[in-house]
A and B are shown apart, each in its own frame.
Chain A
Amino acid sequence: MATEIQEIDLKTDEMIINMGPQHPATHGVLRLLLTLDGETVKHTEPVLGHLHRGQEWQGQNRTWFQYQALIDRVDYLSGMFTSWAMARACEEIDGTVVPPRAEYLRVMVSEMNRITSHLLWLGTYLIDLGAMFGFPFYPFREREKLFDLFEEIAGQRMMFNYIRIGGVVRDPKPEWLDKLKRFLDEFPDRIDEYETIVTQNPIFLKRTKDVGILTQAVAKDYGVTGPCIRSSGIPLDLRRTKPYSVYPELKFDVITFDKEGDTWDRYMARILEMRQSIEIIRQCIDKLPSGDIMGKKQMAGMRIKAGEGFSAVESPRGILGCYVISGGGEKALRFRWRNPSFCNLAILPELLKGCPLSDIMAIFGSIDVILPDVDR
């Protein structure tokens, strides 16, 4: 005797919540138009452009020399990578030969920058998850130490303008390398500290495990790159799969997880990347050759030969590409950025479908989006 269960159709209304552009969890100025059924997300529409500053327009209206000072602002958490992408694109067109010492220095500072970027991500991600009064302070402590090193070598805390077309701009002193080594010695212990607090924390596991699962098919369809896709099991790391600069001479492996990644995997991928970066910097310090650091004269009227080039680097957020068309003059004809955040953010509506309101922050934070990188 099976009793028939009658489904009563209760009338409910969907609620539209406007999250952002000013919201503590949107990392700046993203605006999400959420259609909620209770606390379940039905539909998401991201509204971008609240930080659209016309970076590509600037590229066409600034000289090469001026613009390379500006592009640290494209992705302010990893300014070295934006500089590097532009420098590589211009060098490719121009045929500039970069001295090996400069290449090693580029790798070193970039990996340092990757660490600072991931540290900031770690802090803000835990804020997103609600641990806003304790943990986030610890990653920032180490971040400040790296910033001191950056300041010493580049003159600025965040906007380095250190990697230039043709090389790097300043040669570090030996003491700087010593300081860096000291930092590298103590930093693994700090990562252990973070992991002690976070990795196996039951609430953290509950919030991140099996949340925001990114399947390979969806990821490929949207062109997702970076730690997001590596944690989904696709070993796409430009440093290994399409090595540039001196990465072929350095020993490290691509970090992937052999399954479909959830937010916890994305967290873990970044933790492992920080450890990996330490090893890469160590190798660079050991192998650092002597010699020149600049292959092209830096001056206000600098020119790049005519032609077009595309170059990409593996930034902390994914493949950061730079498409440059030069007419041979002092300015570019067209600058086009391929920003990892912009492409990775596109999967957000896909990931948010059917998840509860609180998971928006867990998922959105795990993609690691920087809004100037999205809006330019």
Chain B
Amino acid sequence: MFSNGDEIFKISRLTIVWLAGIFTIVWMVCWGLGIALPMLLTSQLGDKAALTNEILRAATPVIAILVFIPINAMFMVLIERRALALWTVRKGPNRVGPDGNFQTAADAVKLLLKEDITPTGADAVMHTFAPILFFAPSVFGAVPLLAAVTNNHPLFHVLNLPTGIFFVLAAGALPVVALVMAGWASNNKYSLVGGLRSAAQAISYEIPLVLSLITVCLMAGTLDLVKITEQQAGGILNWNLLGGGALTGLNNALAGGGAKALATSYFMGPISYVCAGLLVISLIISFWLYLTGACAEINRIPFDLPEAESELVSGYNTEYSGMKFAIFFLAEFTNLFVVSSITTVMFLGGGDNPIPPYILNNIPGIPQMVAAIRDSYFCSTLHIINPETFFATLWVIAKVYGLVIFAVLIRGTLPRFRIDQLMAFGWKRLIPLSLIVFIIVVFAREFVICHG
């Protein structure tokens, strides 16, 4: 009969193989274009290669993203199907390739080779551009995140914006236009209702989402994604999830600062302690608010009303087939990935290790291992990767895909809201709550020295 342990083992194996494959490929592309090729050119041509090198370095992140997104979406679809199967006592796709590894590749090729239909009576131009407009923001919106998730690797310095989070949010607000376009251009009433629903939903849930992120920015005092990540370094107590730096004093005390560190951070005594507690609670609520808003933003269950299958057939993409539908499909999962990355950067400390360094460095073997990696041929000579980036990326991958799996679990559990309940929930619950949290944070942070 069915053995759950066996299946869990297979899924883990699949995950590890895929992730290793994806990130090796992507990193090799980055390294090849951004580091190896410029090094080679410089050694051959000298100063004449400077301009070429600049162009190569600037192009690297974009190309990396373009390589990364399709493979990653394929993996995410596969893992979603396998994980849902695991939770519903099934096996999931396991026939194509070794253990079903290439199932989604087959799907992708099939969708690309399928007939592409534009319904008569549809607005052909809008109908064609809607998926592109839906997909594009998830590509260029993700760019500023790159520096943050790779521990500010020199390759991605260029892309770091001082107002990174706003750029990401602005890009994230664009797809709704595409959905309305798709709904309107399809000449189908279900599509139209789906498109309008998505507009209403996105506008409503944008507010709590942005407010919760503003709360974090307020705590951090900056909009720069890299700075926000760097502030959170040093263990789980520094993360924005737990008070946005309000526990830094505690962390310092544990690290060896003792009572002095506590007194520095919590300078008002008991009031400060209470405020720190409030901050922790507020930021956890903010985290939850962000997850909820993001779920609605990317149309996942329980907020998948724009494409509610049992109501609107397939919602805004009812009339889409073949390649255009594939792009919608791709963008949907990429959006999920981007949203998880933002959560990781803003709340979960980016590439930070949850175990504080004062514990980690005392574990025998760890510092030596880091040193060994740094001194190895790959790092020191070929500059393939430095250990900071390597470990940061590992942690980012773990956190991001953990959130993705969490979203899949929610998808497999909850029913769907009704549109008026969705609006009521957004306007009457989430927005007041996020405002309250924001106000609490504004006042409470005056009594605690955060991130210090």
Contacts and interface: CB of A to CB of B under 8 A. Distances in A.
A131 B414 contact: yes
A17 B421 CA distance: 22
Contacts of A130: 301-302, 304, 308-310, 414-416
A21 to B, nearest CB: 13
A358 interface: yes
A224 to B, nearest CB: 24
B423 to A, nearest CB: 11
B311 A25 contact: yes
Interface in A172-202: 197, 201
Given A134-B87, A356-B418, A356-B420, A24 B413 contact: no
Contact of A39 (B193, B304, B309): B193
Given A39-B193, A137-B89, A206 B417 contact: yes
A128 B84 contact: no
Contacts of A247: none
B189 A134 contact: no
Contact of B416 (A24, A129, A138): A129
B88 interface: yes
A203 interface: yes
Interface string B383-395: 0000000000000
A134 B309 contact: no
Contacts of A134: 84, 87-88, 411-413
Given A17-B189, A39-B193, A206-B421, A131 B311 contact: no
B299 to A, nearest CB: 12
Interface residues of A, number: 32
Interface string A144-180: 0000000000000000000000000000000000000
B110 interface: no
Contacts of A359: 418
Interface string A107-142: 000000000000000000011111111110110010
A201 B419 contact: no
A206 B417 CA distance: 8
A323 interface: no
A207 B418 contact: yes
Given A24-B310, A361-B310, A131 B418 contact: no
Contact of A131 (B416, B419, B421): B416
A357 interface: yes
A360 B312 CA distance: 11
Contacts of B418: 206-207, 356, 358-359, 362
Most buried by A among B87, B190, B414: B414
A366 to B, nearest CB: 13
A357 B304 CA distance: 15
Contact of A141 (B89, B189, B412, B421): B89
B302 A203 contact: yes
B362 to A, nearest CB: 43
B313 interface: yes
A47 interface: no
A310 interface: no
Contacts of A137: 88-90
A319 to B, nearest CB: 29
A256 B190 CA distance: 38
Contacts of A39: 193, 419-420
Nearest to A203: B415
A300 to B, nearest CB: 43
B412 A203 contact: no
B419 A357 contact: yes
A204 interface: yes
A24 B309 contact: yes
Contacts of A361: 310-311
B310 A128 contact: yes
A349 to B, nearest CB: 18
B309 A138 contact: no
A23 to B, nearest CB: 7
Nearest to B409: A134
A227 to B, nearest CB: 20
A360 B308 CA distance: 13
A197 B88 CA distance: 13
Most buried by A among B87, B304, B310, B416: B310
B193 A135 contact: no
A8 B219 CA distance: 46
B193 A133 contact: no
A203 B310 contact: no
A206 B302 CA distance: 12
B77 to A, nearest CB: 13
Interface string A43-65: 00000000000000000000000
B46 to A, nearest CB: 59
B95 to A, nearest CB: 20
A203 B292 CA distance: 14
A294 to B, nearest CB: 38
B131 to A, nearest CB: 23
Nearest to B197: A39
Contacts of B313: 23-24
Given A15-B189, A356-B419, A360-B311, A133 B302 contact: no
Given A24-B313, A361-B310, A362-B418, 9 more contacts: A39-B193, A39-B420, A128-B310, A130-B414, A206-B417, A206-B421, A207-B417, A357-B193, A358-B308
Closest 10 CB pairs of A and B: A130-B416, A134-B412, A137-B88, A129-B415, A131-B415, A25-B310, A358-B418, A130-B415, A133-B412, A128-B310
5 contacts: A17-B193, A130-B415, A131-B415, A134-B411, A358-B416
Interface of A: 15, 17, 23-25, 39, 126-135, 137-138, 141, 197, 201, 203-204, 206-207, 356-362
